[in-house]
A and B are shown apart, each in its own frame.
Chain A
Amino acid sequence: MPLERLDKLATAWAIFQGLLLEAIPFLLLGVAIAGLARWAVPPGAWIDKLPKNPVLAPIIGALMGFALPACECGNVPVARRLLASGAPMGTAFGFLFAAPVLNPIVLASTWAAFPDQPWLLVARPLGAFLLAILLSLLLVQLPETQLLATALLEERRMSQPLSNVGLLQRSSGLIGASTTTTRPATNQRIKGWQMLDQSCREFLDLLALLVLGCVIAALVQTWLPRSWLLAVGGAPTASILALMLLAVVVSVCSSVDAFLALGFAAQITPGALLAFLLLGPVVDLKLAGLFTVLMRPRAIVITAISASLGVLLIGQWINLWQL
């Protein structure tokens, strides 16, 4: 193997380690919050109180991001726990897509990186909020069976009242039980050890997918020169598209992406800058694997395409307004 290729492989290996080691603490934080919430507060106690209105549900979900100051890796296990507990889908997806931006740490880091650009401090959370509502409204149009990953769907069925799902849908094997609107046994508090064991399994499942995502992101980053993407910095539409691609490839956490963007903010259009800060927390290579615990491949593709179109439109509008 030529020396140059070995050098690139060594660089990819180092980028992989950097991405992975930085993401693992946030993944653990998300899994811990999801596990503790399940242990301390039985789902039935508050899941039933969440609004089911298709517009209100994602709004509530998006605002829940303020309770979890983590990046996108940490939000996946929490969103999964919400869905498995029978929460309205709009709430869970609103949380999944908005929380990586609508949380105190990310907002503070955006402010720290761009204190002289007040428009960005408004546009980023507002754009993330609108994008989350849009994606949630779109995804809930799909039937749950086409949207949710099989294992998650089965878990969700077990948490839903029998008035909502049939016995065959639930696959519980209990024929002849009375149809009731109350939740099944998941209302009961689980034991501490049980919670710890389940959380560890969830962590290991997600970690395997995170490893996969980091491998892909590191390889693409090493072999795709970033300067190519930034070469079109001044062109309004091309710069937005290039920075969207960069956000997907770089896969850096939302809590620090503003500092990364600061490095090339002067070379690109304002719309491209916002597009980078909006798309990365929703869609990136590192997340691609993690999303498979939530959604079926078709739903992931719909999410990626819709998010990209939404961000492109927002970026274009910002360029029209700012340039």
Chain B
Amino acid sequence: MSEPIKTDALIIGAGPCGLFAVFELGLLDIKTHLVDILDKIGGQCAELYPEKPIYDIPGIPLVTGQGLCDALMMQIKPFGPAFHLQEMVETLEKIGDPLFRVTTDRGNVFEAKVIVIAAGGGSFQPKRPPIPGIEAYESTSVFYSVRQMEAFRDKRILIVGGGDSALDWTLNLAPLASHLTLLHRRSEFRAAPDSVNKMMALVGEGKVDFVLGQVSELQGAAGQIAKAIVKRNDGSNFEIACDALLPFFGLTMKLGPVADWGMEMKDGEYILVDTATFESSVPGIFAIGDINWYPGKLKLILSGFHEGALMAQKAHRYVYPDKRLVFQYTTSSTSLQKKLGVA
């Protein structure tokens, strides 16, 4: 086991609520680390709707998903939060009163006095395409991400999809592959125009095949695919011989391991919390934002901000059990302004 990373609070999820929790905790001198499965900060705002407008943030008539995340990053900068991206929490163990040990899929170990779950709809996972029996090939010859490009050298690769991931990996893997086919259901792409142009150039040079259609069946044995049966848009079929299939159909949200951490849940989907503290049924574990439930819950970013503010008050009692908390305003408190670097 690697050396534990010690922190006051571990925040799971770097979406808007997780980010604002850094601010509220920071004002109370509580240091934070954040873990997020995405490769970027911002959660759903950055992954699902970076360019889409948000109209219901108090005092900000219009901001995009990405704009809100960027502004929150500026706001929390004084507190120096540490981010651990592309990393998923796996296990949680209570080792003190309260002290938790959390492990991740990257082998990191955190020791935190409080846990703040701000995981929204759960962790983003790749979507599995509707191909019967695809599970039998997953992680042996069907992959939803590329961790090591070398593993694909001299292989016949079939990439499916029309977004940035499909295009990026087509461009990156084409030089290594013995043969690469890009399959998409239409001739338009939802990807950076530059990537599309580069891909078309490779097609022109005969280095990549671009084919219209959808995979309807996989054939192979013992986890190794041999060929994909592809249905053209006119209903006719043909085969593509391949050693590896990489489907890129975007991401969906799944609750993931937090469901097994012993907290009382609502409908198996949401973490039940006390509305005075946003603490779960396990003392020291809090839940804010879309992932929690209480009577009257609204899945609004502004509700998540409120929840974070109240959560921080209770978290303070665990992190500094002997200190009395005096409620202060950032407008008038010199000590808070010092923390923000403005006094």
Please indicate whether A and B come from the same complex rather than being unrelated chains: no
* Residues of B in contact with A (beta carbons under 8 Å apart): none
Q: Taking beta carbons and an 8 Å cutoff, which residues of A are in contact with B? A: none
